[in-house]
Chain A
């Protein structure tokens, strides 16, 4: 198939960017979206042009590195990571807009690559436990109710790609933050810091310049890991608990 991609090109953080159209011939429907960009980049390099910069790493949908807004939706038309999106989701002759994940706290580094370390700093503010865990304990040493384990695991699957932020009309990282608060807050190991965690992580989220949540729900609709929207309400519950009883 033959497609046209309109790609955001920006030379550096301070440079002006623009959408540049490229025609790509001989695209196989079995190619992943990133492989299609690899082919395009090879051809650009052969022609002596600057290849397109984009983030990618594992290419198996688990690392959260790839971050493209495809036709206006983070990770494109399928609810998966960009690397797991295949060209069979598009048709011959399509024009596809490819843009970086945009948010105030995600400055563009170059072309399609943005700096998402603001998310790391939110994790550093409270997304951890301080209990010395030692070697892996026996599975039944600390019983966890099945329901709690399931919800905690659902939340723990967050790969921190930032699609929730990129789609949110407010540029809010609430789904990301709530996933970690829920994951640790439901498990016994996460209890010692439970009340300080939610306040510290939210303070960091505000300090980074992320927006506030207005419960629109687009975040959960594009999340490649399907983090449920309910995690946000779980964070709000923890927050109300912290406000009522103090942080410690």
Chain B
């Protein structure tokens, strides 16, 4: 759970960096997208590194989901079934954060979003705003449609909440939380990672929607 999560966080940061290239203009963005396919040549074949990343990602996603469902099942037995306490106060917990509360269903929203996202921009099966051979035009066409921006905003907020608890939890599981100072530091790191990823991913869609990038 922790290790696969950290791999996915690393990918998100790289992906976000690529998205922000949209502010450098069409030539830079399309050049970056093309370069991802030729990187490492001639040592690696065409799109070689991309496939390495895809395989690593797929393994991480499968491991993350498998661990999540296994944990879900085990924890369901651990707490003794779905209905536990009659007192309504119990459902809110004592110091449970909203981000930890949304972890499971947020994760499912994110998984569904990733499928939609691939259909949208990668495979171009669903193309509101119009398909294009140029990745830059694909993005600009897509985010000119207001409801697509809304859908991506919801998904990115889910990612933000997921990363807030996920980053903290992964680092704690890996043994980094051994003092009060470390705990504050880990919480800070979690907020920064969640904030940077959410804002970083939402900057391009909103800039396009409001006509700052065209």
Contact = CB atoms under 8 A, between A and B. Distances in A.
Interface stretch (B12-20, B117-125, B179-187): B179-187
Interface in B89-146: 89-91, 93-97, 100, 103
Contacts of A213: 173
A232 B84 CA distance: 24
Interface string A59-81: 00000000001011100000000
B169 interface: yes
Contacts of B88: 72
Q: How many residues of B sit at the interface, in one of the four size bands?
A: 35 or more
A153 interface: no
Contacts of B96: 169, 216-218
A209 B80 CA distance: 9
A214 B166 CA distance: 9
Interface in A81-105: 97, 99, 102-105
A52 B118 CA distance: 59
A71 B174 CA distance: 34
Interface string A7-29: 01000000000010000000000
Contacts of A72: 85, 87-91
A103 B80 contact: yes
Contacts of B173: 213, 215, 233, 236
A176 B15 CA distance: 40
Interface in A210-248: 210-218, 221-222, 228-230, 232-234, 236-237, 240
B84 A230 contact: no
A102 B78 contact: no
Contact of B85 (A69, A212, A217, A234): A69
A104 B103 contact: no
B89 A211 contact: no
A168 interface: yes
Interface in B149-201: 165, 168-169, 172-180, 182-183
A104 B74 CA distance: 10
Contacts of A19: 86
A185 to B, nearest CB: 12
Contacts of A209: 77-78
Contacts of B103: 214
Interface in B65-80: 71, 74-80
Contacts, number: 125
Given A104-B79, A229-B177, A217 B95 contact: yes
Q: Among B85, B165, B180, which residue has the most Cβ atoms of chain A within 10 A?
A: B85
Given A69-B87, A73-B94, A99-B85, A171 B174 contact: no
Contacts of A168: 78-79
Given A72-B89, A215-B173, A170 B75 contact: yes
Nearest to B80: A104
A164 B93 CA distance: 12
Contacts of B180: 228, 230
Contacts of B79: 102-104, 168-171, 211
A229 B89 contact: no
A229 B186 CA distance: 13
A106 interface: yes
A233 B183 CA distance: 10
A222 B90 CA distance: 12
A172 interface: yes
Given A206-B74, A233-B178, 4 more contacts: A97-B87, A171-B78, A209-B77, A211-B79
25 contacts: A72-B91, A99-B87, A102-B79, A102-B84, A102-B85, A103-B78, A104-B81, A171-B78, A171-B80, A209-B77, A209-B78, A211-B75, A211-B76, A214-B169, A215-B168, A215-B169, A215-B172, A216-B97, A218-B93, A221-B94, A233-B178, A234-B178, A236-B175, A240-B174, A240-B175
Interface of B: 71, 74-81, 84-91, 93-97, 100, 103, 165, 168-169, 172-180, 182-183
